[in-house]
Every structure is written in C-alpha cells, then in structure tokens.
C-alpha cells in the first residue's frame, strides 16, 4: 500500500434479521471516515458485506420454510436497501456465499494446516449459538447465561478440528507492544492484553450433524469450517486475495477494521493469529466502537425496541438520511455507548441543523440578495487562508482520531461564530448607515464560513453539504468535485459569484413543513 491509498472495512452483518440503527451506526462511521480520507486526496477502498453461514441462519431459514440461501438472499437485499438509503459509498459488498470467498477460506485452512496449526480432537464444551462460539464458565453471568444474548449455552460434545491459537500469544503481545495504536480505543487494547494471558486453542469446525450450512473442511466432507474463520477471511477476499493481485497489493493490509466492541476478541486475537499462521500481513488498526442503545436499553428483538433507518424516515418524513447520520455521529464520543431517543433526535437535529446551520444560510443569502443584488460582495478577506485556518486543523485532527462528535462540535462552533458576527455587527444597521465596505466584509466572512463548513461537514452530512454548496452559487455538486481538504483554507469563495437562494436546507422535524407529505 502507498501513502495515497486507504482501506477501511466494517464488520460483515449476520443476516438473520433486518438491519437496525446498531448496524447503521458502524456503517455510517466507516462511511464518514472513507469520505474524509477522500477529501485528503486518497484513493479509498471501503468494504462491507454480509455473514451468511452458521447455526443461526440455518435455524431461522428452517423455521421460515426456505433454504438458507433463499433466506440470506432476501435479507441481503434489505441490508443493501438500507445502506443505499444512508448514502454509503462502499466499493464492494462481499457475501460469504460468494464463490471467490469459498476459495480464499479453503486456501487459508490449507495454509494453517500445512503449518501444523490445525489438529483434530474430541471435545465437550459450552456453545453459544448467538455468539457462534464455544464459551467458558468465566464468559457467563451469574445465572450461567451469555451476557450478550441472555440465554444459557448448550452443552456440545463433538470431534472437531482445533487451531493452535496459543502458539501465537507471544507474537500478538509483541505486535501490540510495538504498535500501540493497533487496537483502539486504548482501554480496549488493555482488555485484549488481559485476554491473551489465558489463551487456549479454539475449535475451528463443527460436525455436519450439528450445522451443515457452511464451507466444508478441505478433505473432510463431514466437517464444516467454523463460521468465524469463514467470516474473518472476508477482509482479504474483499480486496482481491487470490483473484486480483494488483488490488490486493494496493489495499492490504487494511488501514482500519471498524467493529463493535462485542467482537473484539475475534478481530484482535483470532484474526491476527490466522494471518500470522498463513504468513500474511496484519491489519494496521482495529477500532472497537460502542453500542447504540434505544432509550438506554440494548437493541433487542425480544425487548421489541428495534428501530431501523426506515422507521425514522417514515416517522419524521425525512427528506434525506443526513439527520440520521448526523445524530448517530454526535450522540456520543465514538468508542463509548450512545443512546437514541426520538425526542433527543428531534431536538438535536432541529437545534444544530435546521435552526443553527439552516437559519444562518437562509438569512445570509437573503441579506446577500437584499444588499448586494444576490452576488458575493468584494472584501479584504477574499483571499485564501483569511479565515478559520486553526479551526480547519482542529477539525481534521478530530476526524483522524475517529472523534466524529468533536469534529461536528468544532464545525458548529464556526456556525455559532458566524451567527454571532451577524448579531453583533448588525448588517441592517451597517446598510442603513451606508457602511458598505464593512457590510461587504461581514457578509463575505459569513459566506466564506459557510463554504468551509460545507466541506468540513460533508463526510457526515453529504446531502446537506451539497445543498449549501449549491445555494452558495456553485454549479457542480460538492460530492462530485471532492475538493481537497486543503481547499478549505487554500481556496475561497469568489466575489461576484451569484448565489442561489432555494429556501431551508432542512425543515424542522415535526413542523408543518416536515409533515406536509403525510398531510397530503
């Protein structure tokens, strides 16, 4: 990989139910980082997809009276529809039922077996179907239940293949110590180092009497490869391993695996060990984000608190997905848990986007029409770097550190500054007193601030940023131009450019305008 490329992945979603805000949270965050890296001028590869094998899918499909493949085909379309609505810019949607993926999984198995890292033995253990893994007593809560799925694991006795995970304890410890940013946030790295202290070999197959929906073990048709070996391998399949050597050379190792905190062990221990065994490079970084809860409760079908992006689209008659993107990226510090409530969603979107940003744009353009015949005025500030250079640097640093909430806060501070400039300097008074030069300077600085805000906020709110860009008088959409991040301070809005006032960029949620379509 070169310095001008960037590869980022999401966890692939287990397709046993429709997508909800928990799935969307990770995918939006990954898209935000991909868009930001493109603004830096990098060639980006963004990989997402679906995890389709294993016990849960097989049981769910059987209960529905369809084959596992029919079931996953239907669910995959629901996920793709949701990601299209949320405006995700992924480069490949990989399915673990893809033909090229089968070949990669079988290749990795043979490599690990040839290394002497796979052996067969009889085993009795506790298996959590929800986690798709064997667990120990120390993994369970006081009631003997899996804390993630609130049910007791089943006792399983089988003759399975095992992977010599314990062989790679020292290598992973050494890698983490020499690469301190390998696992983020830092407190998650501490958790992994603690897990490594008691590392045991893991079962990496199931007998077909237990689960038949999966990839068969090479040369042993009675065994199916463990679903996590299958799933983790998607990261190299997706960038062309074995099938597209130039693509693989360009985008592996991945710069970031974006995952949920509940699957950190698999990504920070199992996956590195597999790659080391197969003599392949490790990913550069693993970021484990927190959960999005609903009204402070974990999203759960049994609880009945599942909220999908389309739920919000319909409930608030959203004109585009940016309110969902903005709220999820600002509801909590990325890496910590966040909680969604409809009331807080409405209040935050109205306050930050409809009122603060939207009203600034609307009144600024109205005054530009009134005082300068709808054109950007001349000003002493009409030069690159005249405004907000430090602010742009701070926002960039926040994005680079996955601090999306902080990035948005810093950008909104520029909006606050511009609103305060208007309130303090009173353009209507300047016009009345014939202070046209001062008025031009004021209006120019606000218009230029809006230009910079549009670029800086575009990774999070691409549709709204495009709308701001258009109303500022630019003909080509911001999303098509993909200006360099440096354009924030190395370019500027041109005096004389005609603006295009088109009305509010986002109606207030639950306002008469927002509900107009429903009333029709």
The per-residue pLDDT for range 25-58, each reduced to its tens digit, is 999 999 999 999 999 999 999 999 999 999 889 9
Q: Is 149 a catalytic residue?
A: yes
Q: Is the pLDDT of residue 250 over 80?
A: yes
For residue 447, give the nearest of 466, 471, 463, 465 by alpha carbon: 471
- Bond before 349 cis per omega within 30 degrees: no
**What confidence tens digit (pLDDT) does each residue in 256-266 have?**
999 999 999 99
Q: Is 128 a catalytic residue?
A: yes
Q: Full-prediction pTM beyond 0.85? A: yes
**Residue 97: partners with Cβ closer than 8 Å, 6 or more residues away:** 52, 53, 69, 72
**Section 422-448 average pLDDT:** 98
pLDDT, mean over the chain: 94
| CB contact burial 255-290 (16+ within 10 A = b; e otherwise) | bbbbbbbebbbbbbbbbbbbbbbbeeebbebbbbbb
Do the Cβ atoms of 426 and 442 come closer than 8 Å? Answer: no
For residue 401, give the nearest of 32, 41, 38 by alpha carbon: 32
**Section 327-352 average pLDDT:** 96
Domain ranges of the chain: 5-289, 341-519
**Section 492-505 average pLDDT:** 96
Q: Is the pLDDT of residue 510 over 70?
A: yes
Q: What pLDDT, on a 0 to 100 scale, did the predictor assign at position 1?
A: 65
3-state secondary structure of 424: helix
Q: What pLDDT, on a 0 to 100 scale, did the predictor assign at position 481?
A: 79
Do the Cβ atoms of 172 and 193 come closer than 8 Å? Answer: no
Per the structure block, which two tokens stand in for 110?
Answer: 């043979």
Alpha-carbon distance values, 238 to 225, 243, 400, 405, 438 (Å): 19, 10, 24, 30, 56
Q: Is the pLDDT of residue 22 over 70?
A: yes
Catalytic residue among 71, 146, 346, 492: 146
Q: Is 243 a catalytic residue?
A: no
Structure letter (DSSP) for residue 387 = S
CATH 1.10.10.10 fits 341-519, yes or no: no
Q: Is the pLDDT of residue 409 over 60?
A: yes
Task: State the burial class of residue 219 (Cβ atoms within 10 Å of its Cβ: 0-12, 13-18, 19+).
Answer: exposed
Per the structure block, which two tokens stand in for 47?
Answer: 């990989």
Do the Cβ atoms of 223 and 261 come closer than 8 Å? Answer: no
Q: Is the pLDDT of residue 516 over 50?
A: no
Q: What pLDDT, on a 0 to 100 scale, did the predictor assign at position 168?
A: 98
Q: Which CATH superfamily is domain 5-289 in?
A: HUPs (3.40.50.620)
For residue 24, give the nearest of 93, 104, 85 by alpha carbon: 85
Do the Cβ atoms of 109 and 43 come closer than 8 Å? Answer: no
Lowest average pLDDT, out of 42-51, 378-387, 475-484, goes to 475-484
Read off φ and ψ for residue 80, nearest 5 degrees. -60, -40
Q: Are strands 216-217 and 220-225 parallel, antiparallel or unpaired?
A: antiparallel
Number of H helices, E strands in the chain: 23, 16
Q: What pLDDT, on a 0 to 100 scale, did the predictor assign at position 511?
A: 58
Do the Cβ atoms of 264 and 188 come closer than 8 Å? Answer: yes
Reduced to 3 DSSP states, what percent helix, strand and coil does the chain have, rounded to the nearest 5?
Answer: 50, 15, 35
Catalytic residue among 27, 56, 71, 131: 131
- Distance between CA atoms of residues 191 and 194, nearest Å: 5
Q: Is 146 a catalytic residue?
A: yes
Helix-helix angle 358-372:436-457, to 10 degrees: 150
Do the first three CATH levels of 5-289 and 341-519 match, i.e. the same topology? no
**Residue 468: partners with Cβ closer than 8 Å, 6 or more residues away:** 357, 361, 450, 453, 454, 478, 505
How many CA atoms lie less than 13 Å away from 495 in the CB half-sphere?
15
**What confidence tens digit (pLDDT) does each residue in 347-382 have?**
999 999 999 999 999 999 999 999 999 999 999 999
Catalytic residue among 42, 59, 80, 149: 149
**Could you tell me the pLDDT band of residue 302, with boundaries at 50, 70 and 90?**
low
Catalytic residue among 128, 133, 267, 289: 128
Task: State the burial class of residue 434 (Cβ atoms within 10 Å of its Cβ: 0-12, 13-18, 19+).
Answer: exposed
Do the Cβ atoms of 9 and 47 come closer than 8 Å? Answer: yes
Q: Is the pLDDT of residue 319 over 60?
A: yes
């Amino acid at each position: 990989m070169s310095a001008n490329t960037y590869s980022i992945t999401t966890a692939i979603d287990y397709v046993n139910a429709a997508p909800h805000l928990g799935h969307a949270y990770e995918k939006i965050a990954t898209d935000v980082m991909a868009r930001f890296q493109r603004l830096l001028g990098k060639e980006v590869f963004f990989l997402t997809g679906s995890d389709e094998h294993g016990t849960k899918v097989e049981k769910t499909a059987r209960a529905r009276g369809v084959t596992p493949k029919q079931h996953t085909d239907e669910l995959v379309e629901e996920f793709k529809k949701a990601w299209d609505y949320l405006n995700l810019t992924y480069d490949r949607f990989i399915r673990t039922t893809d033909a090229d993926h089968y070949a990669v999984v079988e290749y990795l198995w043979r490599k690990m077996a040839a290394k002497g890292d796979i052996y067969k033995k009889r085993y009795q253990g506790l298996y959590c179907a929800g986690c798709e893994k064997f667990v120990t007593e120390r993994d369970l809560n006081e009631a003997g239940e899996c804390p993630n799925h609130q049910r007791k694991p089943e006792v399983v006795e089988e003759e399975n293949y095992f992977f010599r995970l314990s062989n790679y304890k020292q290598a992973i410890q050494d890698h983490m110590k020499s690469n301190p940013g390998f696992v983020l946030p830092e407190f998650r790295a501490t958790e992994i180092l603690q897990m490594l202290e008691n590392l045991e070999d893991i079962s990496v197959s199931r007998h077909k009497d237990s689960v038949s929906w999966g990839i068969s073990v090479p040369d042993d048709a009675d065994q199916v490869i463990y679903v996590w070996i299958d799933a983790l391998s998607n990261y190299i399949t997706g960038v062309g391993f074995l099938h597209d050597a130039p693509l693989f050379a360009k985008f592996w190792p991945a710069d970031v695996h974006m995952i949920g905190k509940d699957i950190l062990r698999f990504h920070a221990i199992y996956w590195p060990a597999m790659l080391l065994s197969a003599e392949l490079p490790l990913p550069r970084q693993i970021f484990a984000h927190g959960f999005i809860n609903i009204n402070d409760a974990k999203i759960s079908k049994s609880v009945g608190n599942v909220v999908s992006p389309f739920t919000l689209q319909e409930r608030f008659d959203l004109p585009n997905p940016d309110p969902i993107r903005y709220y999820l990226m600002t509801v909590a510090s990325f890496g910590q848990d966040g909680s969604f409530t409809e009331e807080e969603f409405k209040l935050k979107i109205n306050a930050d986007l409809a009122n603060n940003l939207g009203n600034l744009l609307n009144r600024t353009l109205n005054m530009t029409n009134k005082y300068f015949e709808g054109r950007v005025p001349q000003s002493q500030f009409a030069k690159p770097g005249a405004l907000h250079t430090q602010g742009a640097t701070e926002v960039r640093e926040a994005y680079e550190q996955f601090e999306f909430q902080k990035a948005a806060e810093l950008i909104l501070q520029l909006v606050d500054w511009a609103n305060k400039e208007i309130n303090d300097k009173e353009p209507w008074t300047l016009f009345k007193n014939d202070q046209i030069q001062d008025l031009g300077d004021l209006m120019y600085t606000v218009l230029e601030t809006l230009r910079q805000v549009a670029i800086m906020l575009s990774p999070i709110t691409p549709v709204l940023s495009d709308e701001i860009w258009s109303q500022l008088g630019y003909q080509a959409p911001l999303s098509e131009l993909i200006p360099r991040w440096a354009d924030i301070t190395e370019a500027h809005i041109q005096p004389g450019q005609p603006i295009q006032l088109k009305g509010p960029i986002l109606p207030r949620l639950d306002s008469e305008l927002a509900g107009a379509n429903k009333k029709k």
